[in-house]
Amino acid sequence: MRKAGLFGVILVLLLPLCVIAGEKNPWEKKLPFKHGTINYTISGMENGSEITYIRDYGREVATYHTTKTTMMGMTMVNETVDIDTPEWSYHFDLTEGTGTKNVNPEKYMIEEYNKLSRAEQKRVSENGEKMGVSVAEGFGGKVQQNAKEILGYSCDRTEMMGSVVYSIHGSGLPLLVETNMMGMNMKIEATSVDKGRVADSFFQFPQGIEPVFDQQSDAVAREMARQTIAMLKDPESGEKRRGPAMQGQQKQMSPEDQEQMQQAMEMLKGMFGNQPQQ
């Protein structure tokens, strides 16, 4: 697992707490429409378009991304397809002809949350509501709910790690993304939302590409989900129980993955460890 992938998992696990904390299960979120096709324009360091297809209120999402990047007189084409289901997340690079698959990190969060008693779920939601803003601040970010209306939808604003994202309120689905990191700028902006039914063909794998399962990424996502819920339920005891389980997981990882996993869990500890309890 590469560093970007690891911190992507962290954001998937924690960002729902920032904008929909207090829900019955923050990771079982729904869009305000059952089906949808969203068209985006992309400009900046990449130029092109993106189309996102949505089914079952966002439980299934397929994104087709086509851009060109010109650097030092050379133009590179980037064509990718990402398909997310409640069980799996698939990524296909059409330019390279490769594909990967990982268990959807949200699946593990939902499973861990549903294992809790009603009282524990309430405590997790209440702690999450208090911690949500501090989680974002732990990444140097800010969260503002219902900050702007885009294409008729009220959007939450999340500023984090050099990016500003406007997502449909309570859903995490972005309609506008503006990034400025190390002098590189990119803007992804939705231009239309069509709520018509979506064809099955958009959720089929690209022809000739078989996705490869990344077992180490799966182990990381599973353990981080378990630790995140444990820390939300009881930050102090969650940290005490972390050691033995982490050691078992790390033995199965490469040295690079072990280091990144340790950094991620220390980040969780820092954000959750000093929060007040109910």
| pLDDT for the residue numbered 55 | 96
pLDDT at 247 over 70: no
Task: Specify if 169 maps to a domain.
Answer: no
Q: What percent of the chain has pLDDT over 70?
A: 69
Q: Which residues make beta-bridge pairs with 220?
A: none
Helix 215-233 and helix 105-114: axis angle, to 10°? 40
Task: Specify if 118 maps to a domain.
Answer: yes
Which of 163-167, 170-174, 187-191 has the weakest average pLDDT?
A: 170-174
| pLDDT for the residue numbered 52 | 97
Task: Specify if 58 maps to a domain.
Answer: yes
Which of 76-85, 137-146, 151-160 has the weakest average pLDDT?
A: 137-146
The 74-84 sheet, strands edge to edge: 142-150, 153-160, 163-168, 174-181, 184-194, 36-44, 47-55, 60-71, 74-84, 88-93, 98-103, 212-213
Task: Specify if 95 maps to a domain.
Answer: yes
Give me the phi and psi of 60, to 5 degrees please: -125, 125
Average pLDDT over residues 188-208: 97
Q: Which residues make beta-bridge pairs with 60?
A: 55
The one-letter code for the residue type at 104 is N
Task: Specify if 170 maps to a domain.
Answer: no
Torsion of CA 239, 215, 207, 199, to 10 degrees: -30
| Residues 6-58 pLDDT 10s | 445 455 555 555 544 555 666 777 899 999 999 999 999 899 999 999 999 99
Domain assignment of residue 208, given as a range: 3-132+181-272
- CA atoms of 144 and 86, how far apart (whole Å): 27
| Residues 252-270 pLDDT 10s | 545 555 555 555 545 444 4
Tokens representing residue 151 in the block:
């294409």
193 closest CA partner among 99, 69, 83, 52: 52
pLDDT at 278 over 80: no
Torsion of CA 99, 204, 173, 109, to 10 degrees: -70
Task: Specify if 175 maps to a domain.
Answer: no
Given a contact cutoff of 8 angstroms between Cβ atoms, the answer to whether 27 and 106 are in contact is yes
Task: Specify if 151 maps to a domain.
Answer: no
| pLDDT for the residue numbered 277 | 41
| Residues 95-106 pLDDT 10s | 999 999 988 888
- CA atoms of 128 and 109, how far apart (whole Å): 13
Task: Give the chain's domain count.
Answer: 1
**Radius of gyration (Cα) for the chain, nearest Å?**
19
More reliable by pLDDT, 97 or 142: 97
More reliable by pLDDT, 40 or 228: 40
Q: 81, exposed or middle or buried, with CB in 10 Å at 0-12, 13-18, 19+? A: buried
pLDDT band, very low/low/confident/very high, at 135 (cuts 50, 70, 90): low
The one-letter code for the residue type at 42 is I
Given a contact cutoff of 8 angstroms between Cβ atoms, the answer to whether 158 and 141 are in contact is yes
Instruction: Write the CA distances from 88 to 101, 108, 222, integer angstroms.
Output: 7, 11, 13
Task: Specify if 143 maps to a domain.
Answer: no
